[in-house]
């Protein structure tokens, strides 16, 4: 009780005064109505009330996860979970100490506080409301009402606006600096001991992050209005999970959709006139700089022949149990922090070092951008929102409106680096970095990003130099570059920082174009056809490989023959009832290294159809059968049935209940993507993939939306909404979302909850 009294007093003191003078002295207030699957419908008269209600409802479902996230961004993981424990930063695990050092050094809280003063009043109000709503839930829950997973833990505490600023900064850096957290946290001048933690340079495609998004215009839909299919691929665990909400706020704002942990309103969803989704873009939101170190001092570097001192920052990280804190000194340059990836030859020597400049560092424009999207009445206004603010950090925006227009805007906060500058400022080793980032010469001031008129921050690429397309037919993206959103009209070539041009597309992208073309050719698109399209679970890899492989099976013997028999009967899909899917999954991995795998190489004139035709000449036929024999033998030795049901192999455990999960890896050319980890018992547990799937069209009254959240609303196993949508997803059961007051009342579960203070 004493602890709760302290919480209450602290929370009251931490509530930030409202930014809008018109709201001064008024109370925070919101009404929360829950409907099927626990989806909250939050109504408030002002923006503070919106944030207040969203935070309260989110904490009801995911308090422990959000409380842990606030500890993470504060750099307190080592203190609570030990320095050697693991943190999920974005899409990868890193050690807690590296996480803490990163957040305590890279997040410039003073700069964020200063920047917050220039945010629009409604954004400030939203954040203040979120702080108040989260703290209100802690008071209401009391010590006994905290979920078991974090009950009595010191890291569950009231928050302040600083916590929101840190969390927002982390979200902006998800696809850039955050992926190099250990590389930044462990960078030290030459002569210091080598770091003891793993450091890598991840590529977003290797991480498996992605998404699919479709926008259909009036030329191809059954009712002549726009339609959106959204299928973002995000983690099934951790703070990057989506959470559904419906928000009705001031000035006619009404949006239903999803957000991530700490998001005070939907960032993906629909209103009465437009629907939108996002996919991770191939554009790079940072550049690397190669430094010329001053021979006299490894903490100085040369620019235009003059020596500059690096900025030293001492970071102290508290340790658990009263142990002595860990102190590190990190260094930063005019280009950003120094980083190392020793395994890739990126080291800090007496001759050279490397720094990272991130376009999303300090990007506080995102919330206002998504508010403007949520207010949009047509895709033109969405395009204007993303173009004028450049606040979208690292995702494509794919949208359609009730008037039948479809939009794909690959417009984000991108460094203004032209193809000419990338070439002129390249260093001799720039080619070694090409798959990951553009490397520029840090010894030349002229290699800084170019300033362009009209951008909110100097050095950002203007929207006019990025890719945005509006059509009446259809556009789609599966994380490949802007080059093709519809094969009928490829985009002109732009700066290489926006992605690859005229290069081979991923199997998932090719599958998308193939299946979407078939969908459109098969007739006008309505909800039923769109739903079947989203959950088809076809494997393009299987379609490309099996015809030739099965002809080789006439010569197969033993284990290879047994594998052939199973694959011949397999439906080439990853449905729960598909038999042979796990065998092919393993086989595809086994043949990936065969040279000359495809008889027909990639052709830029046919990016959808090439490469193709399994190469069986030379010794390839023998290698293909040998690989099958090896895979079959391994599976049989491990006691795995070759023709097991896919739903018995990939599943989610809800207590003692096994929930089968259809879908499969994107690298097999499966649109409904799922990356899974192998458990100790050999089963595959979903890790990262299909999450919130929405199909949104429009009738004369408003939006018509079917959706499902694959991993459900709550991370608390005791919640009735921890697995309910997972069961529905398993059964391919869609949910018609209630948007009108009448529909909400009909689906309400329990009485509306009004909170105010």
pLDDT tens-place string over residues 554-575: 999 999 999 999 999 999 999 9
- The number of C-alpha atoms within 13 Å of 28 and in the hemisphere containing its C-beta is 29
CA dist list (Å): 488 to 294, 485, 525, 604: 53, 9, 19, 13
Q: Pick the last residue of a domain from 685, 717, 736.
A: 685
Give a yes or no: residue 532 inside a domain: no
In whole angstroms, what is the distance from residue 197 CA to residue 185 CA? 10
Instruction: Find residue 34's DSSP bridge partners.
Output: 40
Residue 23 scores a pLDDT above 80: no
> Which pair of tokens denotes residue 112?
């964020």
Distance between CA atoms of residues 500 and 493, nearest Å: 9
Cis preceding linkage at 611, omega within 30? yes
Separation CA 469–CA 490 (nearest Å): 10
In the predicted model, what is the mean pLDDT of residues 457-481?
A: 98
- Calculate the average pLDDT of the chain: 94
pLDDT at 2 over 50: no
Q: Which of 181, 203, 225 is the last residue of a domain?
A: 203
Q: What is the pLDDT of residue 194?
A: 76
How far apart are alpha carbons 62 and 141 in whole angstroms? 13
Q: Residue 208 — very low, low, confident or very high, per pLDDT cuts 50/70/90?
A: low
Residue 584 located in a structural domain: yes
Say if residue 9's pLDDT is above 60: no
Domain ends where: 654, 685, 716?
685
**Angstrom distance (rounded) from CA 376 to CA 371:** 9
Q: How many domains does the chain have?
A: 2
Residue 694's nearest CA partner among 371, 268, 298 is: 268
Interval 107-161: pLDDT, tens: 999 999 999 999 999 999 999 999 999 999 999 999 999 999 999 999 999 999 9
Nearest alpha-carbon partner for 99 in 66, 74, 63, 68: 74
The separation between CA 735 and the C-alpha centre of its own chain, rounded to angstroms, equals 23
Residue 181 covered by a domain: yes
- Helix (H, G, I), strand (E, B), or coil: what is residue 423? helix
CB atoms within 10 A of CB 456: 12
Name the residue with tokens 């895709």: 379
| Residue 711: inside a domain | no
Q: Give residue for tokens 């028999």.
A: 565
Q: What pLDDT is stored for residue 4 in this prediction? A: 47
Residues marked as catalytic? 211
CATH code of the domain in which 643 resides: 1.10.1400.10
Helix, strand, or coil here: 641?
coil
Exposure on the CB side of residue 434, measured as CA atoms within 13 A: 12
586 occurs within a structural domain: yes
For residue 91, tell me if it sits in a domain. Answer: yes
The Cα 420–Cα 494 span in angstroms is 11
Contacts of residue 752, defined as CB under 8 A and 6 or more positions apart, other chains included, come to 31, 32, 33
Q: For residue 329, list its beta bridge partners.
A: 314
Q: Which residues pair with 653 in a beta bridge?
A: 658
CATH assignment at residue 57: 1.10.439.10
SS3 5: helix
Q: What is the span of the domain harbouring residue 567?
A: 545-685
In a domain, 253, yes or no: no
Across residues 582-607, what is the average pLDDT? 96
CB atoms within 10 A of CB 698: 26
Q: Which two tokens stand for residue 542?
A: 């299987």
Q: Is residue 529 packed enough to be buried (19+ CB in 10 Å), middle (13-18) or exposed (0-12)? A: middle
Q: What confidence category does residue 196 fall into, taking pLDDT thresholds of 50, 70 and 90? A: confident
**Do the Cβ atoms of 32 and 753 come closer than 8 Å?**
yes
- Identify the weakest region by mean pLDDT among 75-89, 194-208, 666-680: 194-208
Please check whether residue 578 lies inside any domain of the structure. yes
DSSP 644-708: -BHHHHBEEEETTEEEE---B-GGGT-SSBEEEEEPTTS-EEEEEEE-EEEEEEE-SSSEEEEEE
């Amino acid at each position: 009780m004493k602890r709760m009294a302290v919480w209450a007093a602290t929370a009251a003191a931490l509530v930030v005064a409202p930014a809008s003078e018109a709201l001064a002295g008024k109370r925070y207030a919101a009404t929360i109505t829950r409907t099927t699957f626990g989806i909250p419908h939050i109504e408030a008269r002002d923006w503070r009330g919106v944030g207040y209600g969203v935070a309260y409802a989110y904490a009801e479902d995911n308090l422990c996860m959000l409380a842990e996230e606030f500890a993470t961004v504060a750099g307190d993981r080592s203190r609570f979970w030990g320095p050697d424990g693991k943190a999920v930063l974005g899409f990868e695990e890193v050690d807690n100490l590296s996480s803490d050092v990163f957040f305590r050094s890279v997040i410039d809280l003073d700069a964020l506080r200063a920047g917050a003063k220039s945010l629009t009043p409604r954004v400030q109000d939203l954040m203040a409301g979120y702080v108040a709503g989260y703290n209100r839930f802690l008071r209401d829950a009391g010590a006994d009402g905290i979920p078991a997973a974090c009950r009595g833990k010191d890291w569950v505490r009231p928050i302040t606006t600083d916590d929101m600023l840190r969390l927002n900064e982390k979200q902006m850096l998800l696809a850039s600096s955050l992926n190099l957290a250990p590389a930044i946290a462990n960078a030290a001048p030459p002569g210091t001991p080598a770091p003891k933690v793993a450091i890598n340079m991840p590529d977003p495609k290797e991480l498996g992050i992605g998404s699919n998004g479709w926008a259909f215009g009036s030329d191809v839909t059954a009712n002549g209005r726009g339609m959106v299919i959204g299928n973002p691929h995000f983690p099934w665990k951790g703070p990057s999970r989506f959470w559904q909400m419906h928000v009705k706020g001031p000035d006619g704002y009404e949006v239903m959709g999803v957000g991530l942990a700490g998001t005070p309103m939907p960032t993906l969803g629909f209103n009465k006139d437009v629907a939108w989704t996002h996919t991770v873009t191939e554009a790079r939101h940072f550049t690397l700089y190669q430094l010329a170190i001053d021979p006299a001092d490894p903490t100085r570097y040369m620019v235009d022949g003059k020596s500059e001192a690096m900025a030293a920052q001492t970071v102290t990280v508290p340790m658990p149990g009263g142990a002595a804190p860990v102190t590190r000194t990190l260094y930063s340059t005019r280009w950003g922090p120094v980083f190392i990836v020793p395994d890739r030859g990126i080291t800090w020597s007496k001759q050279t070092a490397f720094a990272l400049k991130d376009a999303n560092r300090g990007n506080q424009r995102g919330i206002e951008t998504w508010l403007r999207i949520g207010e949009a009445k047509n895709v033109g206004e969405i395009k204007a929102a993303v173009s004028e603010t450049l606040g979208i950090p690292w995702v494509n925006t794919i949208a359609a409106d009730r008037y039948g227009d479809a939009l794909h805007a690959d417009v984000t906060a991108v460094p203004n680096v032209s193809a000419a500058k990338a070439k002129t400022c390249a260093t001799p080793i720039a080619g070694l970095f090409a798959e990951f980032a553009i490397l520029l010469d840090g010894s030349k001031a002229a290699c800084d990003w170019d300033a362009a008129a009209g951008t909110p921050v100097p050095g950002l690429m203007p929207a006019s130099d990025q890719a945005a397309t509006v059509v009446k037919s259809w556009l789609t993206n599966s994380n490949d570059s802007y080059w093709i959103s519809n094969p009928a009209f490829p985009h002109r070539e732009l700066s290489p920082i926006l992605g690859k041009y005229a290069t081979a597309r991923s199997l998932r992208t090719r599958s998308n174009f193939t299946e979407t073309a078939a969908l459109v050719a098969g007739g006008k698109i309505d909800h039923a056809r769109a739903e079947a399209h989203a959950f088809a679970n076809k494997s393009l890899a299987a379609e490309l490989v099996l015809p030739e492989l099965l002809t080789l099976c006439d010569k197969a013997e033993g284990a290879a023959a047994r594998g052939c028999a199973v694959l011949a009967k397999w439906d080439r899909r990853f449905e729960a009832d598909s038999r042979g899917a796990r065998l092919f999954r393993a086989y595809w991995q086994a043949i990936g290294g065969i040279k000359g795998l495809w008889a027909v190489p990639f052709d830029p004139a046919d990016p959808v159809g090439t490469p193709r035709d399994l190469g069986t000449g030379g010794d390839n036929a023998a290698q293909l059968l040998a690989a099958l024999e090896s895979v079959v033998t391994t599976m049989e030795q491990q006691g795995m049935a070759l023709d097991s049901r896919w739903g018995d192999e990939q599943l989610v455990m809800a207590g003692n209940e096994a929930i089968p999960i259809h879908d499969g890896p994107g690298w097999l050319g499966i649109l409904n993507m799922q990356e899974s980890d192998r458990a100790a018992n050999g089963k595959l547990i979903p890790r990262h993939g299909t999450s919130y799937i929405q199909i949104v069209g429009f009738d004369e009254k408003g939006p018509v939306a079917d959706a499902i959240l694959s991993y459900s609303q709550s991370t608390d196993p005791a919640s009735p909404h921890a697995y309910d949508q997972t069961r529905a997803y398993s059964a391919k059961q869609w949910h018609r979302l209630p948007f009108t007051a009448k529909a909400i009342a009909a689906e309400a579960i329990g009485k509306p909850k009004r909170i105010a203070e």
